[in-house]
Structure 1
Amino acid sequence: MLPNLTITPAADKFMRRIVRFSGLPAGAGFRLLVSAGGCSGYNAEFSAEPAPQPGEQVLEADGLRLFLPAASRLMLDGVTIDFADTPTQSGLTFFNPAQGACGCGSSAAAEPGVARIEVGAIGRGRPPAPPRAS
């Protein structure tokens, strides 16, 4: 079952660019793996992929193909996915109206529902090349 989620225009634009500039052929999509964790409640990894993997479902929105593993589908139900680009953060953000704000006081995140995604999480389904010997 596909989740009932909202993708803002900024997030849609970001995902389309990742797929478009990946160099993959037509029909490629954006794989989004979301898991529980962090103060925001979400950890996320994403990549451009040529096709969904077994067990993934495809959510299509105006030509954008979003590949979602089962765990991600459960986590994203009712969530709004946005893209933030500010001086302090850049990446996908997740807002779940059913989740309260964090009260742990140990996070530097200013907004609840913001998942920080490291640049190294962006890929095309291949591990990064090993460093070259000098």
Structure 2
Amino acid sequence: MLPNIQITAAADKFMRRIVRFSGLPEGAGFRLLVSEGGCSGYNAEFSAEPAPREGEQTLEHQGLKIFLPAESRLLLDGVTMDFADTPTKSGLTFVNPKQSACACSSSVEAAPPGVARIEIGSISRGRPASLLS
């Protein structure tokens, strides 16, 4: 089952650019892997991929293919995905109205409740950034 996810115009534009500039052939999509964790409630990885992997489903958003593994589909249900670009931060944000605020103070700049930020530097082309070193 595909999640009921709201995608803002800014997030849509960001994902389309990742896929367009990936150099992959027509039909490629945006793979989004979301897991629980982190101060904001989400850890996320994404990349441009030529096709969905086994077990992934494709969410089509106005012609953009978003490849989602099962865990991501569950976690993204009811979430709004946006893209923020400020002088100090730039990346995807996830707002979950069901998520409570983080109680830890380990972060200098705590994220608002239910928001996960993904930094531009974590973008890789086809492989997770951890495999590029």
Same structural fold, with TM-score higher than 0.5 when normalized by the shorter chain: yes
Question: Whose Rg is larger?
Answer: 1
| Structure 2: segments with no counterpart, 5+ residues | none
Opposite residue 39 of structure 2, the aligned amino acid is C
Counterpart position of 1:95: 95
Contact 2:89 2:119 (8 Å CA) reproduced: no
Q: Which runs of 5+ in 1 are unaligned?
A: none
- Measured in 2, the distance between the counterparts of 1:72 and 1:26 equals 24
SS of the aligned residue for 1:111 comes to coil
Q: Look up the equivalent residue of 1:86 and give its one-letter code.
A: T
Q: Secondary structure at the match of 1:17?
A: helix
Deviation at 1:104, TM superposition (A): 1.8
Q: CA deviation at 1:100?
A: 1.6
Cα distance between partner residues in 1 of 2:111 and 2:34: 20
The one-letter code matched in structure 2 to 1:79 is V
Residue by residue over 1:71-130, the C-alpha shift from the partner in whole angstroms, topping out at 9 and shown as x without a partner, is: 1001101000000011221100000001122222222224223323244531222342x5
Q: Matches of 1:51 and 1:42 in 2, distance apart?
A: 24
TM-score, structure 1 as length reference? 0.89
Other-structure match for 2:31 = 31
**Given that residues 47 and 121 in structure 1 are in contact (C-alpha distance below 8 angstroms), is that contact kept between their aligned partners in structure 2?**
no
Any runs of at least 4 consecutive aligned residues in structure 1 with deviations exceeding 4 A, and if so which? Answer: none
1:67 aligns with 2:67: yes
Separation of aligned partners in 2, 1:110 and 1:81: 15
Q: Identity rate of aligned residues, in percent?
A: 78
Distance 1:94 1:68, change over 3 A: same
* 1:123 aligned counterpart, secondary structure: coil
Partner of 1:20 in structure 2? 20
1:11 is paired with a residue of what secondary structure?
helix
Contact in 1 for aligned 2:31/2:68 (Cα 8 Å): yes
The CA RMSD over aligned residues, in Å, is 1.4
Other structure's SS at 2:115 match:
coil
* Contact 1:58 1:65 survives alignment (8 Å): yes
Question: Is residue 91–residue 120 contact of structure 2 (8 Å, CA) maintained in 1?
Answer: no
Other-structure match for 2:123: 122
